[in-house]
């Protein structure tokens, strides 16, 4: 999703704003950033990925749940609060103590890339999510062409990378024990699949 101006704010004020405002904001260690809406492609990729994840998790009988982009992830250690495009928690959901709306233990975070947020998703946000010991997989999905990148955490904090660029390929999410088909994620987007 797109993002707008950055404003200096304390965490306490941020939590108050979030509780009372219709707009959603992310928190970056003393600054807040308003979230903007997404393109039709963004919306479709999000729903497609959500469906693919849920179907695969249920079929595999995994005790995991998928959360939409309305659910915030709190990263206390580096004072960041982000809204991922999708997140998955396995087992009991842990909530932030100051802000019980926010979760703190995603195994997978999905971000759908747009031109305005790509460097944030690859830079600061990935850095923030990496601080969560629960995070095992980070998935980036491109809107303008078929490119899915999955970063899977291995021992010694190395992240293995899979890059998928064609229908027929499958994305392996080892920490969740499931695989996703590229054509399911880009379902209905034939214009960019060819």
Partner 1 sequence: MNMQNQPLYNPLEPWSWETYRQLEKESDLRYEYYDGEIVCLAGASNRHSDLCTNLTLQIAPAARRKGCKARFQETKVFRPDGEKYFYPDGVVTCQPLDLQAQNGVRNPVIIVEVLSESTRSKDLGLKLREYLSLSSLRHYLIVEQTECAIYHYRRNAEGRWEVVFYESPEQTIDLPELETRISVAAIYEGITFGPEVNLAEEEMAEYETKEVDVN
Question: Is residue 158 at the binding interface for partner 1, with CB under 8 A as the rule?
Answer: yes
Classify strands 108-113 and 137-142 as parallel, antiparallel or unpaired: parallel
Residue with tokens 């747009």: 114
Binder among 30, 91, 123, 188 for partner 1 (CB under 8 A): 123
Nearest approach, Cβ of 122 to partner 1 (angstroms)?
4
Which of 62, 122 has the CB closer to partner 1?
A: 122
Q: CB–CB of 124/192 below 8 Å?
A: no
Question: Is residue 179 at the binding interface for partner 1, with CB under 8 A as the rule?
Answer: no
Binder among 15, 110, 113, 178 for partner 1 (CB under 8 A): 113
Q: CB–CB of 119/65 below 8 Å?
A: no
Range in contact with partner 1 (rule: CB under 8 A) among 66-74, 82-90, 123-131, 169-177: 123-131
Q: Is 133 helix (H, G, I), strand (E, B) or coil?
A: coil
Question: Is residue 151 at the binding interface for partner 1, with CB under 8 A as the rule?
Answer: yes
Distance of alpha carbon 83 from alpha carbon 81, whole angstroms: 7
Count H helices and E strands in the chain, helices first.
Answer: 6, 13
The residues that touch partner 1, with contacts defined as CB under 8 A, are 113, 115, 118-119, 122-123, 127, 130, 147, 151, 154, 157-163
């Amino acid at each position: 999703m797109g993002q707008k101006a950055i404003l200096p704010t304390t965490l306490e004020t941020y939590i108050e704003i979030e509780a009372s405002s219709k707009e959603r904001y992310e928190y970056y260690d003393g600054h807040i950033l308003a979230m903007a809406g997404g393109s039709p492609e963004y919306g479709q990729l999000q729903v497609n990925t959500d469906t693919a994840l849920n179907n695969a998790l249920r079929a595999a009988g995994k005790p995991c749940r998928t959360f939409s982009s309305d659910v915030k992830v709190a990263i206390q250690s580096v004072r960041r609060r982000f809204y991922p495009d999708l997140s998955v928690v396995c087992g009991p959901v842990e909530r932030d103590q100051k802000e019980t709306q926010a979760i703190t233990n995603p195994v997978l975070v999905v971000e759908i890339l747009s031109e305005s947020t790509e460097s944030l998703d690859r830079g600061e946000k990935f850095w923030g999510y990496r601080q969560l010991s629960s995070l095992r997989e980070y998935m980036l999905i491109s809107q303008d062409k078929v490119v899915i990148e999955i970063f899977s955490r291995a021992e010694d904090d190395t992240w293995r990378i899979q890059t998928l660029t064609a229908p027929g390929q499958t994305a392996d999410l080892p920490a969740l024990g499931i695989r996703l088909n590229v054509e399911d994620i880009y379902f209905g987007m034939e214009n960019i699949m060819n």
